[in-house]
Amino acid sequence: MTNDKELWLIVADSEGARLLQARKMQHEHLHLDEVSKLASTFVGAEHQRPARLSQPGRSGSTPSEHASKVAHFAREVTPWIEQELSARGIVRCALFAPSHLLGALRKERHQSATSRLIEHEGELAQMSLADLSRHPRVVALQSS
């Protein structure tokens, strides 16, 4: 079981998510460890069906591939987040994700995970651990 003073973060985008544990080191330096990660299984071509679109009476508009990718990953990452929070006894976790992914995640997740996640809009998923440990928004979390 974790305690309330531990700092946990999830950084996510439509391609993947990483669960990070933060520890304060000497001289107020923040050290991050990647504890778990999940990569999207989205394959763009599976969402396009040209034969159906060319039929009479069919509209040529389909959801954009990006929107499909975001929705697909939201469905994948939601149970992963819930499992990781429960398995590790995480009470509070900061979630950094782009606004479009945050919206998709809100539609998918259950109340149990929602109460433990503190959402932050941001595109931090592709940053290295070293860069994340110095990022002003991440550093600010340790004092909150």
In a domain, 1, yes or no: no
Please give the structure tokens belonging to residue 46: 């599976």
pLDDT at 29: 76
In a domain, 44, yes or no: yes
In a domain, 53, yes or no: yes
Confidence of residue 24 (pLDDT cuts 50, 70, 90): confident
Mean pLDDT, rounded, for 53-67? 56
Q: Which CATH number covers residue 134? A: 3.30.420.60
Q: Which residues contact 106 (CB under 8 A, 6 or more apart)?
A: 114
Question: How far, in whole angstroms, is CA 14 from its chain's centroid?
Answer: 8
In a domain, 119, yes or no: yes
pLDDT at 99: 95
pTM of the entire predicted model: 0.81
How many alpha carbons lie under 13 Å from residue 128 in its C-beta half-sphere?
2
Mean pLDDT, rounded, for 83-93? 94
Please give the structure tokens belonging to residue 139: 């550093």
pLDDT at 51: 45
In a domain, 98, yes or no: yes
Residue with tokens 């259950």: 110
Domains held by the chain: number: 1
User: Could you tell me which of 104, 106, 111 has the C-alpha nearest to residue 85?
Assistant: 111
In a domain, 34, yes or no: yes
pLDDT at 38: 96
Supply the mean pLDDT for the chain: 83
Q: Which residues constitute the domain of residue 105?
A: 7-141
pLDDT at 81: 95
Q: What's the pLDDT tens digit per position in 93-127?
A: 999 999 999 999 988 877 667 789 999 999 999 99
Confidence of residue 34 (pLDDT cuts 50, 70, 90): very high
In a domain, 2, yes or no: no
